[in-house]
Structure 1
């Protein structure tokens, strides 16, 4: 059987003497579809394969980072007198697509015997194993011709091929499980150890190393087939994109670790900036690696392999320089990366097809990375030890300095104790005098408060004049610059109720003195105006206040902001005017806020002043008028110590406007206290709410 083929193509015939049978590269014919696609049809024969394919010349098949299909063909001869069943196994767990065909000698055509690969469901594998495999049977005393299509989508394209029985595969898996169990156990131990270091010392260095270890562990799970076998068994997307994604994330965290451990920003600032740029490039590559586009994916795979190799080479001289700068922990760091560079170089060069597949290039990555993470953990501990020793040395220096200072202080204290006793007696006398004067001052201010309270409208007068009202009045000091005012007047057979909220310049005693002047000016102005309109009243108050504050040489630049309402109870008309303070109208029917803007000028001092504007105010039953000063909105407080702001005050009143006004006043008082908390009150607070209809 295949006598003609055997005579002309004997290099690619493998004789099955015992299992497992390793099918070496020199026993393969191959066809790389990089230039022209190979098409398998019903008419394709083994002779067509032999004429179109080329003999592979290396021991281990390796096609670098090829994205196109690769076809291989080979013959297995079974010299035994019995048929043998087994599995064709590929020892690269991340080959995406594998289609296995055999030549049916009875039907004289190629038939598919199995499909598997990293991009296909794990259940399609003939035997549960981390390596892709396909079941086949070798007839007794015959040659079996196999044709296989492979595609790895741009990832490292190398593999070993063998024919094995289920027994030998399981024996092999037991060894690999033991080997990788130790390897992943080391990674897990070092990971948990660094988690403990991070929570114990709160060092970002350990956090960066945790990110590197986690990314390395996921990458190794994927590269060695355990991810496909146990985690993402049915996800082709994860199986394809996990490798470049976590390779990029591992390099990203490694760069952060190197920069932090070697303190590059301090000893090599230019190199540090270069590493920062590379970290951004790697982070961008991690994003590219998950984009479902074949060209972008291929670029990300190729890029991370090149960056990993070059970066590993670049870290060594940087670590040696740090060691030269008496950074002792760099010795472990340098040794770790010397070990890693050998392992990574062998792994990457195998991926590029530069070196053959062998036990070191196949498993050197595991040996090297395991030893590297152990050495880096030792380096981290050594670094923390040096920091501790340096801290102890510094503490001893501080204690010695403190001891010397204490001795000097004791001498000075003894010399000055006598002076202090004398000064203490003098201060006690001054303190007693100040305390006496302070009591007198507080007593005077408290009496001034009683005078100021006397000029404010009484509750009886407010109850008789206004249908419903609420007044929040919180002076910053004992006396205040803010005040509220109300007066009834009859003029031209019309009855008027005028009320206002005013904010005089300053607070405390100066503000209180201004409030008395402004209060008297309001009373006088209301008696002197010919028309009871708020604009006319404010013009007159402005005139009277200027006269009171003017002097022969210096003019006092003080004044008053005010919001003034005149309610004609005969005609039920309402007019308003404001100096810097606006009027808010809350409508319970529309659940809205109207704001009437004031004239942007104060009562009293000012230049280029214009007459104040009277605004007619239309009200619906239940509408609430709000006259206010800026003390509430300007108060600092809350969790972040910021101003309350008028916008928040509007919204708070809007949510409670349907409440009775006394209740609303109580809630505003509680809100102010909760907001202010331990902050100092910055200004007087006065808010008057009124419902006229």
Structure 2
């Protein structure tokens, strides 16, 4: 039975081959320089449609088999989608006395089975590869399939490759000097790094623009760029080298599925960017038809790969034609942005067509048809970025036109308003009295928000002054008992003063109250507070300084963190120490870092915590009182009770100003430790 089966196979292969038996050309390694030698013109090919032959059987009956030479193969073989197994054969000679280190490279990453057999005088060496073999078990780590081969001196070696794959079978086979290929790989990684670096820059920049303008076109563009770059990474083997290295399912299915995702996102992006629902309303149902076509074929493709693969690949071309057609029609309607879109997609379309035709076997496999999609996607990505930049400029111009119109309308309105001012003045006066009453209420509310429990005041020997410039101010403080012998002091100063600053203090209180009892060090609490403020009130365009101080009376340690707040003063044994800033102001940047600081204190020490109103006082000559004078005053009054120290400070500030009212809110907290 075995003899009959072998005879059947031999007969079948004999009929299948259309040329007489060919002899392979021997490759002379002395011709191998810095550039590779393409082996496809020298290799012989045997197709095994039964997928039953192995190397030993081929060798045992080789004289009866017809290996054929394919004259159309120049840089690579292209067998498209085939269920057959292909055997490739070439003879390589090394007439030199010294051995030569080479790399046999198949620069196409989607081959499931790619086994190498080396037949020399030392015997037969078998090296399995292909994406069915995990990358860490292949002979060489690369995005392509690389076989390091050392050819002995004065040797002649027969090289066989066994190839089988459910994907399109493309075989660009090259032989390199090992050092030359190592250099080539470095250059290749630089090119890939540049491409994906540009991609990342485009993603980050357009995400930033999206968050500023809230224009969904920029977000869709980011999704298109991400999906396209992932498709390119799968196409050129980067994904299987770095993202997954042992998933034959993804290697088989991922590229066509990702192309469908790219096309779906491109269709949605096109609808938004070109406003096809308004410009081409009759074509709108067809846009959704192609979206659902890609979704449906993706599902069918996963269910039955062999049945739908060619239809699936063909649908990519048809959908691309449709997107190109919509771009042309919008350009005919003289949509400015459509010109950029059409030119950008033309590059991607050309790259996709080239890739599809190569996969189906209609055009040869070479460097251009393999690397073309990556260059096409790079051009498409840059041109679409120009399109969005032009859209941004258009938005700015439209805004300027609108602002000019508003300005003209305002000028006309001003004339009308002047006539109404007199009659409304009396009403405003009435309203002013109401506002005064409201301010009095607001003042009481604010004063109640900073009331300190008398027990805390006694425990900390606290005296304080809170003096807003107007009825309400922008200073805020809070003191709580954490646990055991630990107390937490919080002080903040919003920019400005008056009602606006007072409203900010209410926001501060609302954010601080839920987190003030967290058993975290001050710098962590202030980081959380900054994050919450940025998330909730960044639109207010307001900044504030803040400081959190934890006093541990049992361990005699002060922990603190300062967000740009004036340095608190600790007086120890007649010496003055500052509790400096440990980070930037609240409201400047999310994820700000604040240093952890601590300082020891002893019995009899004094601590003064204040806002900048305690020293930012100016006289008639625009001279500032300043921190140095404040520090000197605190040292000179060390013998006085805290209440008298504060009275002395207020009187000194008043004398220094000599007439002008205070320019800023003033808060000072004084502690005898």
What range describes the TM-score normalised by the shorter chain of this pair? 0.5 to 0.7
Instruction: Trace 1:201-220 onto structure 2 (pairs within 5 A).
Output: 201-220=213-232
Partner of 1:509: none
Partner of 2:381: 373
Task: Verify: 1:70 aligned to 2:86, yes or no.
Answer: yes
Name the CA distance, whole Å, in 1 between partners of 2:338 and 2:197.
26
SS of equivalent residue, structure 1 residue 88? strand
8 A Cα contact 1:11 1:26, kept in partner? no
1:562-605 C-alpha deviation (Å, 9 max, x unpaired)? xxxxxxxxxxxxxxxxxxxxxxxxxxxxxxxxxxxxxxxxxxxx
Kindly report which structure 2 residues correspond to 1:180-195, keeping only aligned pairs within 5 A, or say none. Answer: 180-195=192-207
**TM-score of the pair, normalised by structure 1:** 0.54
**What is the aligned partner in structure 1 of residue 189 from structure 2?**
177
Shift of the alpha carbon at 1:162?
2.0
Per-residue displacement from partner, 1:218-258 (whole Å, max 9, x unpaired)? 12222222222222122323333321232221111111111
**2:126 aligned counterpart, secondary structure:** strand
Match of 1:307 in 2: 315
**What is the CA-CA distance between 1:145 and the residue it aligns to?**
1.8
Query: How far 1:264 sits from its partner (Å)?
Result: 0.6
| 2:146 aligns with one of 133, 147, 152 | 133
Match of 1:24 in 2: 39
C-alpha distance in 2, partners of 1:44/1:340?
A: 44
Task: Report the alpha carbon displacement of residue 393 of structure 1 after superposing the two structures with TM.
Answer: 2.2
Structure 1 pair 86–262 and aligned structure 2 pair: CA distance change class (3 A):
same
What do residues 315-352 of structure 1 show as CA deviations (whole Å, max 9, x unaligned)? 33322322332321222112212222333332322222
The DSSP-based 3-state class of the residue aligned with 1:164 is: strand
Which of 114, 127, 137 aligns to 1:114? It is 127
Distance 1:8 1:287 in 2: 44
Given that 1:247 and 1:304 are in contact with CA atoms closer than 8 Å, whether structure 2 keeps it comes out as no
Does structure 1 retain, via aligned residues, the 8 Å contact 2:118–2:159? yes
Tell me if the contact between 2:24 and 2:91 (Cα under 8 Å) persists in the aligned partners: no
Are the structure 2 counterparts of residues 116 and 273 from structure 1 closer, same or farther at C-alpha, using a change threshold of 3 Å? same
Q: Which residue of 1 aligns with 2:576?
A: none
SS of 1:44's equivalent in the other structure is helix
Deviation at 1:207, TM superposition (A): 1.6
Counterpart for residue 51 of structure 1: 65
Contact 1:97 1:119 (C-alpha < 8 Å) held by counterparts: yes
> Per-residue deviation at 1:402?
5.5
State the secondary structure of the residue aligned to 1:72: strand
The CA deviation string for residues 247-288 of structure 1, in whole angstroms up to 9 with x for no partner, is 221111111111111111111122222111111222234445
Q: Sort the Cα spacing of 1:49 and 1:113 in 2 relative to 1 into closer, same or farther, 3 A.
A: farther
When normalised by structure 2's length, the TM-score is 0.55
Q: How does 1:80-91 map to 2 (within 5 A)?
A: 80-91=96-107
Following superposition, the deviation at residue 367 of structure 1 comes to 1.7
Q: Per-residue displacement from partner, 1:284-308 (whole Å, max 9, x unpaired)? A: 344455x4x5xx2345653453233
Q: Is the 8 A contact 2:148 2:178 kept in 1?
A: no
Question: Paired residue for 1:316?
Answer: 324
Distance 1:112 1:10 in 2: 22
Matched residues in 2 for 1:286 and 1:395: separation?
49
1:184 aligns to what SS in structure 2?
Answer: helix
d(CA) in 2 for partners of 1:206, 1:304: 29
What is the aligned partner in structure 2 of residue 37 from structure 1?
51
Name the SS of the counterpart of 1:181 in structure 2: helix
- Cα distance 1:400–1:358, how it changes in 2: closer, same or farther (>3 A)? same
Instruction: Assess, with a 3 A threshold, how the Cα gap between structure 1 residues 23 and 324 changes in structure 2: closer, same or farther.
Output: closer
Partners of 2:92 and 2:246 in 1: CA distance: 32
For each residue in 1:158-201, what CA deviation from the matched residue of structure 2 results, as whole angstroms up to 9, or x when unmatched?
A: 12112234322211101101111111111111111111121111
SS of the counterpart of 1:148? Answer: strand
- Alignment partner, residue 246 of structure 1: 258
Deviation, 1:114, is: 0.2
Specify whether residues 257 and 300 from structure 1 end up closer, same or farther in structure 2 by C-alpha distance, changes over 3 A only: farther
Residue 408 of structure 1 deviates from its aligned partner by 5.9
Distance across 2 between alignment mates of 1:68 and 1:333: 42
The CA distance in 2 between the partners of 1:188 and 1:242, in whole Å, is 21
Partner of 2:566: none
Distance 1:31 1:271 in 2: 50
- Counterpart for residue 610 of structure 1: none
Quick check: 1:284 aligned with 2:296?
Answer: yes
Contact 1:119 1:240 in 2 (8 A): no
Q: How does 1:470-485 map to 2 (within 5 A)?
A: none
Structure 2 residue 406 is the aligned partner of structure 1 residue 394: no
Q: Are the counterparts in 1 of residues 120 and 156 from structure 2 also a CA contact under 8 Å?
A: no
Gaps in structure 1 of 5+ consecutive residues: 1-6, 422-693
User: How much is the aligned-residue C-alpha RMSD, in angstroms?
Assistant: 3.2
Query: Separation in 2 of the partners of 1:102 and 1:61?
Result: 20
Q: CA offset at residue 112 of structure 1?
A: 4.8
Q: 1:49 to 1:166 in 2, by over 3 A?
A: farther
Structure 2 contact 210–218 (Cα < 8 Å) conserved: yes
Aligned counterpart, 1:678: none
Q: How many residues align?
A: 406
Flag the 1:82–1:8 CA change in 2: closer, same or farther, 3 A: farther
Q: Could you tell me how far 1:49 is from its partner in structure 2?
A: 6.6
CA distance in 2, matches of 1:328, 1:373: 18
Secondary structure of the corresponding residue to residue 171 of structure 2: coil
